[in-house]
Structure 1
Amino acid sequence: MPERILITGAAGGIGTLMRPRLRRAGRTLRLLDVVPPEPAAPDEDVEVVEGSVTDPDAMLRACRDVDAVLHLGGHSRETGWAETLSVNIDGTRTVLEAARLAGVPRVILASSNHVVGFRPAAEAPAADSSPRPDTYYGVSKAAMEALGSLYHSRFGMDVLCVRIGSCFEKVHDERGLGLWLSPDDAARLFEACLNHPSPGYRVLWGVSDNTRRPVPLTEAAELGYVSRDDSEIFAAEVTPDSDHPLLGGPFTTTPLGEPN
């Protein structure tokens, strides 16, 4: 089990959800964000680093003596191209380069379903299918996966790219009934990524075993991931929306560069 894990974007949505769920005896969570995370609880073993994934010096300090990096930092929604390029693409390269220089053996990258948003939902695209991004955000996650592949092939680093569906406490729309990743399942999946003995470079879907799941869990299961949750518990609360044949749904028609 990794003893010290750096979580970038630790004060963000998924970072906040993962912090209590990745807590383990004998494990230190090093939390990095531009916004200070919540103060540590009495029984928490955390280290706080205030800084940006775009700052090479801050990232190198954050990566020292770390066993693994869980890279959640960056813009999590569609935004302008300049910001997407700076934070999501160049920021990912900065994280990977800092990890390489610090000798970190494993990095988990939070990719997204938006990498393949223009693939038909009925196609059930494999996790390692080639990119068909639906937004600038999707392009940035495709670049993230490519950078991860480069750093594995060049430097032997274990890199796992998790194409997350939607990770929230509850499902908010009909599309989410297929792509939901429960916070508890997200922690189970990240633990599988952290503890597999020698994963190499992998791309895998990050979703729960939902009744309406449109993508396979084959690659994640190979790492030892077992989902225990199903979005169907929220089905009665979700308002039906228009049936969309593409995996990205309405994101395929969202104006590029505009927040969604």
Structure 2
Amino acid sequence: MSAPRTILLTGAAGGLGTLMRDLLPAHGYRLRLLDMRPVADGPGVERVITADLADQDALREAVRGVDAVLHLAGISKESSFDRILRANIEGTYNLYEAVRAEGVRRVVFASSNHAVGFTPRPQGDDPLIPVTTPRRPDTYYGLSKCFGEDLAQLYADLHGIDTVSVRIGSCFPAPSTVRMLSVWMSPADGARLFHAALSAGVSGHTVVYGSSANTRLWWDLAPARALGYEPQDDSEPFAAALIAEQGELDPANPAHANLGGAFCTDPPQWEI
């Protein structure tokens, strides 16, 4: 599959969406932007649509004629079940229905490490966590990402829509916690991974982890590399300062012992 010329970027006003709308045009994409909040036009932007994921007519219009969809929209941390239901579960269903109706054949879905958040993090010589590890959501937010992955599988099997689900770690200009040293994805590597997911010659539903090639990596990036992803960054230059400030991770602390970090506490702390 050649790289799509025009993609719909949902959640374009969000933190990750803002980063990607600046970086993806350099990979050869024209962007159609969708968010419930107004988004400014910019280089490489074909069109801006202000609409909610509940507006099915607007979604049909937004996906009409695009080559693929990068679905970043939704609530990106824990919230009430009702809010997660509307934004992340019903909203993702509405998007896939629009994609099916308009004949779009490639979706890249922003899943999350919180879909497997209660997986114990590797320690010592433990192997890296594979994408085949059983799903163990740590929050309603993580549960919504499990739903999204299953929905992607259903629409692949039933309707022939190919999806790459990217279990994103933390995509920020720099890591801000010791945990994040293991799951951090630089914005530049995020754009590289999304480009690979949008253009790889894969069919059906593919799940990969999304992070940079961190020295302290917890999960297996081989499936992402198989798409053509070549991460170029590593969180290690930030390690000394963060450890001096925060200390090493404590295996006895649930926020340190599990992949999902502070989402695995009760109540969950909202560090992503």
Which one of the candidate residues 180, 203, 206 is aligned to 1:202?
Answer: 206
1:181 counterpart = 2:185: yes
CA distance in 1 between partners of 2:38 and 2:146 (Å): 29
Match of 1:31 in 2: 33
Trace 1:10-159 onto structure 2 (pairs within 5 A).
Answer: 10-24=12-26, 27-40=29-42, 43-122=43-122, 124-159=128-163
CA pair 149-233 structure 1, distance change in 2 beyond 3 A? same
> Which piece of structure 1 moves more, 16-25 or 240-249?
240-249
CA distance in 2 between partners of 1:10 and 1:38 (Å): 10
Give the TM-score normalised by the residue count of structure 2.
0.90
Q: Identity percentage over the alignment?
A: 47
Instruction: Report if aligned partners of 2:166, 2:209 keep a CA contact under 8 Å in 1.
Output: yes
RMSD over aligned CA atoms reads 1.6
Match of 1:222 in 2: 226
Instruction: Report if aligned partners of 1:173, 1:241 keep a CA contact under 8 Å in 2.
Output: no
Shift of 1:186: 0.5
Instruction: Report if aligned partners of 2:263, 2:270 keep a CA contact under 8 Å in 1.
Output: no
- Classify the secondary structure of the residue corresponding to 1:23: helix
Instruction: Report if aligned partners of 1:8, 1:53 keep a CA contact under 8 Å in 2.
Output: no
Shift of 1:235: 0.9
- Classify the secondary structure of the residue corresponding to 2:8: strand
- Classify the secondary structure of the residue corresponding to 1:121: coil
- Classify the secondary structure of the residue corresponding to 1:174: coil
CA distance in 2 between partners of 1:241 and 1:79 (Å): 29
Match of 2:265 in 1: 253
CA distance in 2 between partners of 1:215 and 1:128 (Å): 11
Match of 1:168 in 2: 172
CA distance in 2 between partners of 1:224 and 1:50 (Å): 33
Amino acid at match of 2:144: S
CA distance in 2 between partners of 1:58 and 1:11 (Å): 17
CA-to-partner distance for each residue in 1:110-148, whole Å, 9 max, x for gaps?
Answer: 000001111111163212322101111100101110101
Instruction: Report if aligned partners of 1:28, 1:47 keep a CA contact under 8 Å in 2.
Output: no
Shift of 1:26: 6.2
Unmatched tracts of structure 2, length 5 or more: 251-255
Amino acid at match of 1:125: I
Match of 1:240 in 2: 247
CA-to-partner distance for each residue in 1:48-69, whole Å, 9 max, x for gaps?
Answer: 0000122211111100001000
Give the TM-score normalised by the residue count of structure 1.
0.94
CA distance in 1 between partners of 2:92 and 2:179 (Å): 28
CA pair 25-191 structure 1, distance change in 2 beyond 3 A? closer
CA pair 24-230 structure 1, distance change in 2 beyond 3 A? closer
CA pair 250-100 structure 1, distance change in 2 beyond 3 A? same
CA distance in 1 between partners of 2:165 and 2:129 (Å): 15
CA distance in 1 between partners of 2:247 and 2:90 (Å): 38
- Classify the secondary structure of the residue corresponding to 2:25: coil
CA distance in 2 between partners of 1:110 and 1:134 (Å): 17
CA distance in 2 between partners of 1:26 and 1:138 (Å): 32
Shift of 1:241: 5.5
Match of 2:253 in 1: none
> Which piece of structure 1 moves more, 89-98 or 124-133?
124-133
Unmatched tracts of structure 1, length 5 or more: none
- Classify the secondary structure of the residue corresponding to 1:160: strand
Shift of 1:24: 4.2
